Structure formats: C-alpha cells, structure tokens
Amino acid sequence: MNGVLTIRRAGPSLTLQDMGRNGYRASGLSKGGALDISALQEGAAILGRTDAPNAIEMIGYGGEFEVSTPAVFVVTGARMKISIDGTTLESGVSHMLHPGKILKISAAVSGQVGYLHLEGGFKAPEILGSVSANLAGGIGERLQAGVKLSYVVNPNCETNKTLPKPRDATEVIGVLPSAQTALFDEATLQRFLETSFRLDAHRLARQGTPLLYDGEGFATHNQTKIVSDAIFPGDIQVVGTGTPYVLLAESQTIGGYPRIATVLPSELSKLVQSDAEKAFRFRFMSYEDAEVSMNNWERSLARLLSEVRNQIRDPKDIADLLAYNLVSGVVSGAEED
Amino acid sequence: MKQGKFVILEPNESVTNLEHERLLRHGLNKVLVRFGDTLSEDVNARALAFYDFLGSNAPEWLIEAAPTIVSVVVEFDGRVSFQQIESDLNQLLLAHKTAQFKTGARMWQIPACFAYEYAPQLVEVADIMGLSPQAVIDSLCSTKLKVLTIGFAPGQPYIGLLPEAWNFPRMTELTPKVPRGALAASLRQLVLFQNASATGWRHIGQTKFTCFEPERDQAFGLQAGDHIRFTAVSRLEYDALSSTPESFGGARLEVIS
C-alpha cells in the first residue's frame, strides 16, 4: 500500500536522494546521491528499513509537508527545527504525522543538510538505476510546493526510535594526497594544514562548496597549464583565485583546477555538516589510518539497525504526556543510554 | 588518528617501467594512469586504447575505470594493497603495448548550422584565425575529428584535434548562455553542449544533437574514441531537422570497424 506526501511549502534546495548511480563515469555522469551518506542510512535504520534507502534531502531549510495516511517520519543529518501544529519535535527521533496535520521543518540549527525519511521510503521512477535527482546532470527535478510523492507504507516503523550518539562535531578533517598534491610546494601545503577553514554555508550546493579562510590563497605555479583530468567528490580543488572548493556528490567528472588534497569519504559527512561559524582544519592521514577510518565507518553503517533504541525522555519535558503516543514506543526505563 | 602533527606526504607518484606512463595515486582507492602531461592525439589515443584494453582484461579488483583526455582513472577495491595494484597495472600496461592497437570503430556524421544566429562568434573566430568565415567552416567540416573524452556534463564530448590555427585560448569573460547542442571552440577542441551553459568557449555553430537523454533507449549518444565529421547545413535544412532526442539531430552513425 502506498501513501502520498504533499509538499505545501519548499525550501530552496529539496531533492529526492538515494545512494546515487554507479558506473556512468565514462559517460560523464557523476555518482550523485545523498551528500551525507551516514545521515541517509541512519534515517533508514531508525525506520527499520533494510532495503536501499531514500529520503528528501534538504539543504539549509526544509518545508511544509502533509501525508495521506498516518505516517512515521524521522529527520536525520542536520538538526532542524521541526514542529507539528506548533509542538516542537526532536530531530533524529521518529514521530507520527497524521493526515490533516502539517509537518513544518524549518532552518537547520546545527549542521547543513537534513533528510526527511518517511515510512518505507519514497517511490519514484528509477532513472539509470536510481531515484536520485542529479540536477547538474539533467536528471530529475527540484522538489517544489505542490509536488506529491508516493511513499511505501511500512508497518514495521515505530515512533520514538533513535540512534544512540549524536555525531561528534570535529575540528579536524582527514584528507589524503590527490593526484595533483605534488604540484603544490611544501610551504603552501604546510600553510593549508595550518589554516582554519569554515564552510561557506550560503553557497553550499550539491556540486560543491567554497571554503572561507583568512590570509592568502593556495595557488600552484602552473595553475593554468594543467590538462583537465578526473575529479571526484571530496576533492579540494583550488580555483584561479586560490580559494579551496570542496567538490561534492554532484560534481562534474572532469576538471582543470589542481586538487590540493582529497577528503576521505568517511570524513566527508563531518565537513558537509560543519556549522558555518565553526572552524576546522585539514590533516593528511597515512594510508594505513585512512583504511582504518574507512573500515570503521563501513562497519558502523552496517550495524546501525542493531543500534536503534527507544528515545528516553524525562516526563517533565513532555508538554502533554497523555496526548503522547506511548503505544508504539513504550519507554521501559531499562534501556542503556 | 594522530592529532596535530604534520605528516610528511608519502610519495604518491611512481614511475612505471615504461616510457611515458605514470601512476598517480588519488585518495585511498583511485589511481590515474597518465599517458602524458600535454594533450596530443597520440597521448589521447593511447589513453583510450588502454581504457578499452582494461575493459576486456579487467582485474578482479577493478571497480570502475574511465578515460579522461590524457589518462585513465581506475577505482580499485580498497582491500587490495596498492603495491599489488601498481604491479598489476604495470603488467597490464606492458601487455597493452604489445597488443593490437585498436582504433575507434564508430563514425558519426552530425549536421551543423553556421548561419549567423546559430554561430554568433564565427566571425570573431575567423578574425582570430585570419581566415574567412567560410574557410573556418571548411576547416571544421573537413577535419577528421574524434571524441577525446566524455565529461563535465553527462554525455558531453570534448572533440579534437582541430588544426594548429584553432589553438586560441578560452575567453576571459564568459558567455552567459549558449544553448543545448551548441558547438564551441577553444584550444584546437570543440565542445558540443549537452545543456544550456555559461562558457568561455566561442560559440561557432549549432546542432540538434542530444548527447544525453535519460529516457532514451540509448541514453548516451557518443563514446570516447568515436570519429566525428560535421556536415554544414543551411538554415532551412537545419530548421527542418527534428528536435526530438531520439533523432540525434539528424546524425548518421556508421560502424567502420
């Protein structure tokens, strides 16, 4: 059975995203998919899904949504302001949305990119094996007010489910050498590692994001003579002005600017979700450490389902205890924190 | 992770036991097999041929490969050591050297219109090249061209190489918008735009060729290595061409193996 989600109001950057498309690089189509793969998988796990996850990706701001059947939803990734009929709800915890009520998701309080997961996921036509919009590649469309999306009703979803730990905001992001790192001199690389960067949140897009910093740029000597070559999400390219620009899921496949380093995939979520006012630095990892980081990340994603637990609440914090849905998410008080 | 320490970069470049090829590691599990640092037909042809060779001799660790203009980028299974990848790639490069050289087996003939409203910078390019606009059109249409690589946008080709007279740089000011199907020139190459784009390349002709249409049976039209010839058509002939993605702008495809 399917339900229908109606978008009443939409923030500037809402798209349907899944894990993206593999195998089209030779045809000039980048993988695309969710900017924050961890958040995409976390939401699916909270709703008890084991199939390929998808969600509405919301950069910076959400929108207003209605459903045609009682539906369990969760917002993962950025912590966003969420409410139904004026009652504030928590990000990262599953809640019930009833037909006739309006779910309002507004600005990100911390982080940048939120994911709205609903029941058993959205149903949309697959194009080249994926439902992801790849706007730069001409696939799919931005989700705007008035759009309706089908979703699969999933009897296994429960409210009040969450995952144990909030992801830690970090001040250090691990990178590895790119194929062009050697084109930068030692002094420039050293300065790159000593510089505090911030995300240029207003310009964060699915193709990439410029970084903010104080001081001079990071240009190479032969910047303009480099033949275009393959580029990947995570690559930190240095454009003509010397400003580093981090390429993300929907980047083009070939580029002519040199890449000073490339962010390890397991470190990319941290960068994408970094608060605008929070500075971070880059650090070159050894290949051994990078492998360990990737293995740990993959293992942590693989065990998400088994880590889902009930959200423990202090009854004092619940405004109207009787109205609270205690049927599907009974808090026993015995859960570990 | 060790904190707060500047880690000296490990060498991520190794010279192969071959003449020009270099292996450049990129991130954890990618490596560029680079056939030269400057663009030439020979370097591009060797990169494309190695890409084909790799496709038919794929090692178990190969996740995805793609040709760029002067390289083949190889994504490998991170569970295999880089030493193993390097050694296998070196062997493949050697085996490829002695293998039969394969040339592109497909030839496209693509109608292009050079009437003023479809080629707003043709006169400018003619001035730069010191030729008449007709001589520029003749040069473009008589050169045997190849798709050097597909990239930037899905299905979008970089086409070359045009004669040396076409070796003029990109503009410093971008043209705000050229339409889908536009032919634009710079540095002895042409781009046939998949989508309406801003560009620093000069707009010198127009086609109705759709490089990528996700709903079309053959979603991607061109492949790296395809031969291309443009045929000049009049404004009337051009306007009569079908605009549907399925008609490939009136292009003809011939297999010339």
pLDDT along chain B (257 residues), means of 10: 33 46 95 90 91 93 94 94 95 83 78 97 97 98 95 92 92 87 94 90 96 92 95 97 93 86
Give the whole-angstrom CA distance, residue A301 versus residue A320: 35
Q: Which stretches of B68-205 are DSSP H helices?
A: 82-98, 122-129, 133-142
Put simply, whether B240 touches A (Cβ < 8 Å) is: no
Is the separation of the CB atoms in B181 and B208 below 8 Å? yes
Sole residue written with tokens 């009897």: A155
% of chain A beyond a pLDDT of 90? 78
Tokens of B218: 């053959």
Is the separation of the CB atoms in B112 and B183 below 8 Å? yes
Cβ <8 Å between A182 and B13: yes
β-pairing, B62-67 vs B189-192, is unpaired
* Residues of chain B by 3-state class (helix, strand, coil), percent to 5: 25, 30, 45
pLDDT of residue A24: 94
Q: Using the predicted structure, report yes or no on whether residue A169 has a pLDDT greater than 70.
A: no
Helix (H) or strand (E) holding A192: helix A186-194
SS3 B84: helix
Residues of A within 8 A of B68 (CB-CB) are: 228-230, 254
DSSP line for A246-257: EE-TT--SEE-S
pLDDT of residue B171: 83
Cβ <8 Å between A179 and B32: yes
Averaged pLDDT, A197-207: 94
pLDDT of residue B215: 87
pLDDT of residue A332: 41
- Best of B1, B70, B84, B188 to mutate (most A CBs within 10 Å, chain A): B1
pLDDT of residue B100: 62
Q: Using the predicted structure, report yes or no on whether residue A216 has a pLDDT greater than 50.
A: yes
pLDDT of residue A315: 61
Cβ <8 Å between A127 and B214: yes
Q: Report the candidate in A182, A180, A176 with the shortest Cα–Cα distance to residue A290.
A: A176
Residues of A within 8 A of B199 (CB-CB) are: none
pLDDT of residue B15: 40
Q: Using the predicted structure, report yes or no on whether residue A199 has a pLDDT greater than 50.
A: yes
Q: Name the E strands within B79-218.
A: 106-113, 145-150, 157-160, 175-178, 182-186, 189-192, 197-199, 202-206
Q: Positive or negative, the Cα torsion across A82, A87, A92, A98?
A: negative
Please report which confidence band the pLDDT of residue A50 belongs to, taking 50, 70 and 90 as the band edges.
Answer: confident
Tokens of B134: 């007709």
Give the whole-angstrom CA distance, residue A197 versus residue A195: 6
Put simply, whether B9 touches A (Cβ < 8 Å) is: yes
Averaged pLDDT, A174-186: 94
Residues 6+ apart with CB under 8 A from A166: A92
pTM of the predicted structure, to 2 decimals? 0.88
Tokens of A334: 């015995």
Helix (H) or strand (E) holding B232: strand B227-233
Mean pLDDT across chain A: 90
SS3 A189: helix
Tokens of A145: 């007010």
Sole residue written with tokens 């709703």: A47
B161: preceding bond cis by omega (within 30 degrees): yes
Put simply, whether B2 touches A (Cβ < 8 Å) is: yes
- Best of B23, B68, B222 to mutate (most A CBs within 10 Å, chain A): B68
SS3 A152: strand
pLDDT of residue A52: 87
